[in-house]
Amino acid sequence: MTMLQHEITDFTANIYQDNAFSKLTKADMLGHWSLVFFYPNDFSFVCPTELEDLADHYEDFKAIGCEVYGVSHDTEFVHKAWHEANEKIGKIQFPMVADPTNRLSRDLDSYDEVNGQAERGDFILSPEGKVVAYEVISSNVGRNAEEILRRVKASQFVYEHGDQVCPAKWEPGDETIAPSLDLVGQL
């Protein structure tokens, strides 16, 4: 089953951001692009490298109208403790979402029933809250924020220009392709 065009379901979650606790709902995620970035655990090994990479590129995501949500099954209290204890995690300005019941990871089909935690999944959501791109990978392989950012930009482009597609390695300003019968077998 594909998650493409799956609309995120209603939810309320606790978050830690800007040295404060607050709530996040589906309604908060609508009207702009979102990156929902699942990771297995706070205080772990690969996760801080990924989250630091996202923190280093957070302004790039914000500049294109995309909010980043880091999500694990840890509580907002654990997120706060990790933020305060780890220099890499201390850089994070985006919301750290608590998903202790795994409702979000189950909704986006990235929950590992055997281990009781989220897989490394990143989901790009349209302003309507629908999945337009996603990737779920092995828990022992870290992800690259620059590639995810590129995919958000490409997703935004095709969202705006439905009659064009983005080839491999496409970056804003590169040529796109207008699909046509004449191109079959020519590329």
Candidate list 47, 55, 68, 154, residue with the active-site label: 47
> Which structure tokens are listed for 136?
């779920």
Q: Is residue 31 part of a domain?
A: yes
Judge whether 3 lies within some domain: no
Strands (E), the chain: 12-17, 20-25, 33-38, 66-72, 96-98, 111-112, 117-118, 120-125, 131-137
Q: Output the six-digit token pair for 125.
A: 């959501």
User: What integer pLDDT is reported at residue 1 of this predicted model?
Assistant: 77
Asked, for residue 98, whether it belongs to a domain, the answer is yes
CATH of residue 62's domain is: 3.40.30.10
Sequence-distant (≥ 6) Cβ neighbours of residue 59 within 8 angstroms: none
Instruction: Judge whether 161 lies within some domain.
Output: no
Q: What is the pLDDT of residues 76-135, one digit of tens each?
A: 999 999 999 999 999 999 999 999 999 999 999 999 999 999 999 999 999 999 999 999
Return all residues near 101 (Cβ < 8 A) that are at least 6 apart: none
Domain count of the fold of the chain: 1
Q: Say if 112 falls within a structural domain.
A: yes
Q: Which domain holds residue 131?
A: 12-143
Q: Is the pLDDT of residue 183 over 70?
A: no
Active site residue 66: no
Say what the pTM is.
Answer: 0.94
Nearest CA among 114, 108, 118, 127 for reference residue 11 = 108
Residue 53 lies in a domain: yes
- With cut-offs at 50, 70 and 90, classify the pLDDT of residue 173: very high
The string of pLDDT tens digits covering residues 48-74 is 999 999 999 999 999 999 999 999 999
